[in-house]
């Protein structure tokens, strides 16, 4: 019985170690430094999509937070609705 427990523990430790070393590690904010690229668009510049429609400048801009999640930067003229407290 004691030998079986030791074998199970040895197999569990080996499986844990193999999983640790064979699994790719995800990038977290301490290892990832986003590069900021400044872009500018002229008012005279007319972009056209694949169907020939004119593409205008977006109202909001998007960026990444330190964790890599996408969030939206609203323009000062954009009204953001505020929700009321939930009713119980």
pLDDT in tens, 32-53: 555 555 555 554 556 788 888 8
What is the C-alpha separation between 50 and 26, in angstroms, rounded?
Answer: 36
The full length of the chain comes to: 88
User: Are the C-beta atoms of 34 and 69 separated by less than 8 Å?
Assistant: no
The H-assigned helical ranges of 1-88 are 2-22
Q: Which residues contact 34 (CB under 8 A, 6 or more apart)?
A: 64
In the chain, the percentage of residues whose pLDDT exceeds 90 is 17
Query: What tokens does 38 get?
Result: 């400044």
pTM score of the predicted model: 0.30
The more confidently predicted of residues 66 and 31 is 66
Does the pLDDT at position 11 exceed 90?
yes
Does the pLDDT at position 1 exceed 80?
yes
How do strand 54-55 and strand 47-48 relate by DSSP bridges?
A: antiparallel
């Amino acid at each position: 019985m004691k030998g079986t427990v030791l074998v199970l523990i040895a197999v569990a430790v080996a499986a844990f170690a193999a999983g640790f070393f064979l699994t790719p590690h995800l990038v977290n904010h301490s290892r990832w430094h986003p590069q900021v690229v400044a872009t500018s668009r002229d008012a005279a510049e007319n972009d056209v999509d694949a169907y020939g429609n004119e593409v205008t400048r977006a109202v909001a801009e998007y960026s990444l937070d330190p964790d890599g999640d996408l969030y939206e930067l609203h323009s000062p003229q954009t009204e953001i609705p505020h929700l009321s407290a939930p009713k119980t």
